Chains A and B, each alone.
Chain A
Amino acid sequence: MKHHRDQHFASIEDIQHGFEEAGYICSQQIATTLFLAYHLGKPILVEGPAGVGKTELAKTAATYLRIPLIRLQCYEGLDESKALYEWKYGKQLLYTQILKDKLNEFLEGAESLDASISRLHQYDDIFFSLHFLEPRPLLSALQREGGTVLLVDEVDKSDQEFEAFLLEILSDFQVSVPEIGTIRAISKPFVLLTSNNTREMSEALKRRCLHLFIPFPEPKLEREIIRVRVPDLSENLRGQLVSFIQQVRKLDLKKPPSISETIDWARVLVLLHASSLNPDLVRDTLNTFLKFEEDIEIVQEHLYDIAGKALREA
């Protein structure tokens, strides 16, 4: 299955180009990491501030490769029965009830307890077999033929125990089920893990992954992103908008605006048929990209300076 996807990852430029067609502008750094991840067969741990397109990267990778995306959202308390597999208790129960009568028939003629037990031994562990296994996202990602993109989202929110059992999947692409044994991947999934850095990930996990840090983009890259995502915005306004956002990020804010918020704002400006960034318009729409009252106050103080500079620069 690998070779017919090789063309997608033939070179770093191809990746950049392909992702752009799928609507995601990736920097050289991102493309290089994707390239390495594919050829070395390693997962990528993506870190960076919220809203710079970490999750989007995985989604686009799935679109680009034309394979399904399996997403596992992590949270505190997530355990293997929700992430990996669970036994179908109901089915097991139902089957024991149905087979109860069958069992009598089957054991007929057995003279002693020993004989019936040894007869039963011929059928070992019917109830703990693959038929009764309910695959959860991680296991189904391993079992899917043709490969998948597996996104383990916000892995920093999960517990340390969960992280520990991710290790087996990340390094060997296999899962050990105590009752059955090891289940190997039919085809290796392309794995991305994202983290917002609410806690430091363990060394062991980091060691198994390639690490990608996505920072807030450079002005040029951000203009490019806005161009692709909000094509209706005029070029002039796009320049002003990006310059404005870049300056706002330099202020000491509780939550600096991210790319997704820039895109939201660009869409709002398109809806309002704005032709240029005048301070009044900005003041009315500040809340689309600033999410704290304190932040809005800080930006309002500097509003005229920033807007003026943005107009000059564009």
Chain B
Amino acid sequence: MEQVLQNLIIALRASGVRISVSESMDAMYAARLVGYENRQTLKDSLSATLAKSHREKEIFEASFNRFFSLDGFSDPETDSYRAPALEPNEEDAPLTQMLLSGDNTGLSMSMREAAQRADISGIRFFTQKNLYIQRTLQGMGLEGLDRDIRRLSKEDGASSRQKGSALKEARDLLFENVRNFVEQQFSLFAGSATREIIEKYLRNIRLSNLEQQDYHQMRAIIQRMVKRLNDLHSRRRKTSKRGWLDLKKTLRENVAYQGILFDPRWKAKKIDRPDIVALCDVSRSVEAVARFMLLFLYSLNEALARIRSFIFCSNLVEVSHVFEEYQVEEALVRLQRGFGLGIKFGGTDYGQVFQDFKKTWLDLLSNKTTVLILGDARNNYGNPQTDILGLIRERSRRLIWLNPEPPAFWGTGDSEMRRYLPSCYFVKECSTVNHLERVVDLLLRTQA
């Protein structure tokens, strides 16, 4: 039974539940304690020891039910296997005997064992299904069955012929059952492998090439990324520099103890929470990417307390409130259409945008602020106002520009990227989720 439990754990891990060795040992002890008789109790116990979040509980629920659905060997149409009611012969192969006598349990056991020997828990890709079906069939002794069928077809007599055709039918049924079983195992063990591949693909594809259908998954990826980055960076952390005595502070603190130094104080290094001002281009030239940029900003907005978001096209408007008030879908539509925001969708005018920023929001900047600009710097040959960008750079801690175009296109046509370059702390191409993540990691790592 412990082997079965091990397999369940493998299946759970494959579906994305993280289970450590100590947890699987706990599960083992728990199962020994409550016994295997009561299914519900066993399930509750394993759930308490193995699945440690709401999401994992859901996965566990599904996997457990699938794993322990001990459906016997049966005809998929009638849901039961009726033996052909023929006497097996001494010389028949074991598989033939089982099929003829209708030994459901034996067949089911033999199928599981054969699959186990074929190392079914190693299945990862749907292309491997046929291989595993073959291996399992062979493991059950298909050769013997085939030999019997051939032998019977050569023999004369009505009974042999009847037996032969019954065996052929049973053989089809056997194939059906093994295929179903392998399918089921595939969904148990390979669920996450396929998901991981898709996810990896999505992370590296250019944002502008993404399809609408991938959008949901993308949101999940971005959210996870923001959460991870946030966990890493957003908390105010005190890394105390042990060894450096803060003399002034120690004297102050210990006045209460008649100047006896009971409570030495050490110099501490504070890491600040990131403070971000984000400007996002939503003009037509970056339309495909803008959606994801906004999605990203939205997620960032949920995670970070101190972020002010702006969008621009011909002019600049603040949209922090939109992110707070609406659900993500509605917020994105509102931003891209500009409902009631006063944004003008003419040609992109970076010069005007910078002037707007200087006029109204320049006070937002301090020596702690990071300014983040998302856009392609295509200014329709207008005045680029590089000096204002320089001013923004001076007033803030850092200015980061994320450009969806690859560096080779910077400065071509109406792109002003090359002129903006000197004012930026750094400029990065940002066209895949992976780019985005790397950049944001840098962005949040605010040193003292």
Contacts and interface: CB of A to CB of B under 8 A. Distances in A.
A235 B442 CA distance: 62
B348 interface: no
Interface string B151-192: 000000000000000000000000000000000000000000
Contacts of A47: 53-54
Nearest to B54: A213
A200 B53 contact: yes
Interface stretch (B43-51, B67-75, B402-410): B43-51
Contacts of B227: 200
B34 A36 contact: yes
Contacts of B26: 40, 42, 210
A32 B53 contact: no
Interface string B233-259: 001000000000000000000000110
Nearest to A199: B231
Contact of A28 (B22, B41, B51, B52): B41
A211 B260 contact: no
A89 B33 contact: no
Contacts of A44: 48
Interface in B33-63: 33-34, 40-41, 44-45, 47-49, 51-54, 57
Contact of B260 (A33, A93, A160): A93
A121 interface: no
Given A32-B44, A36-B33, A36-B45, A159 B235 contact: yes
Interface string B18-37: 10101100100110011000
Nearest to A39: B33
B30 A36 contact: yes
A94 to B, nearest CB: 11
A32 B53 CA distance: 17
Nearest to B38: A12
Interface string B303-347: 000000000000000000000000000000000000000000000
Given A36-B49, A207-B20, A28 B44 contact: yes
A93 B51 contact: no
Contact of B48 (A33, A93, A200): A33
A12 B52 contact: no
Contacts of A42: 26
Interface in A34-83: 35-36, 39-40, 42, 44-45, 47
The residue in B29, B30, B47, B52 that gathers the most chain A C-beta atoms within 10 A of its C-beta is: B52
Nearest to A37: B48
B215 interface: no
A211 B17 CA distance: 14
A212 interface: yes
Main secondary structure of the interface of A (DSSP, over half): helix
A207 B257 contact: no
A29 interface: yes
Interface residues of B, number: 29
Interface in A151-207: 159-160, 197, 199-200, 203, 206-207
A96 B260 contact: yes
A203 B18 contact: yes
A211 B263 contact: no
A132 to B, nearest CB: 11
A140 interface: no
A40 B262 contact: no
A212 B227 CA distance: 24
Query: Interface residue tally of chain A, by bracket?
Result: 20 to 34
Contacts of A89: 257, 262-263
B253 to A, nearest CB: 11
A40 B20 contact: no
A28 B30 contact: no
Nearest to B230: A199
Contacts of A300: none
Contacts of A40: 26, 29-30, 33
Contacts of A260: none
A199 B228 CA distance: 11
A33 B42 CA distance: 11
Nearest to A215: B54
Contacts of B33: 35-36, 39-40
A254 to B, nearest CB: 12
Contacts of B22: 207
Nearest to A209: B52
A32 B263 CA distance: 48
Interface in B107-165: none
Nearest to B33: A39
Contacts of B263: 89
A92 interface: yes
Interface of A: 12, 28-29, 32-33, 35-36, 39-40, 42, 44-45, 47, 89, 92-93, 96, 159-160, 197, 199-200, 203, 206-207, 209-213
28 contacts: A28-B40, A28-B44, A29-B47, A29-B48, A32-B44, A32-B48, A33-B44, A33-B48, A35-B33, A36-B34, A36-B45, A36-B48, A42-B26, A44-B48, A47-B54, A89-B257, A92-B262, A159-B235, A160-B235, A197-B54, A199-B231, A200-B231, A207-B23, A207-B52, A209-B52, A210-B49, A211-B49, A213-B57
3 shortest interchain CB distances as A-B pairs: A32-B44, A206-B52, A211-B52
Interface of B: 18, 20, 22-23, 26, 29-30, 33-34, 40-41, 44-45, 47-49, 51-54, 57, 227, 231, 235, 257-258, 260, 262-263
Given A40-B29, A160-B235, 16 more contacts: A12-B34, A12-B41, A32-B41, A32-B45, A35-B33, A36-B48, A45-B52, A47-B53, A93-B257, A96-B260, A200-B227, A207-B20, A210-B26, A211-B49, A211-B52, A212-B48
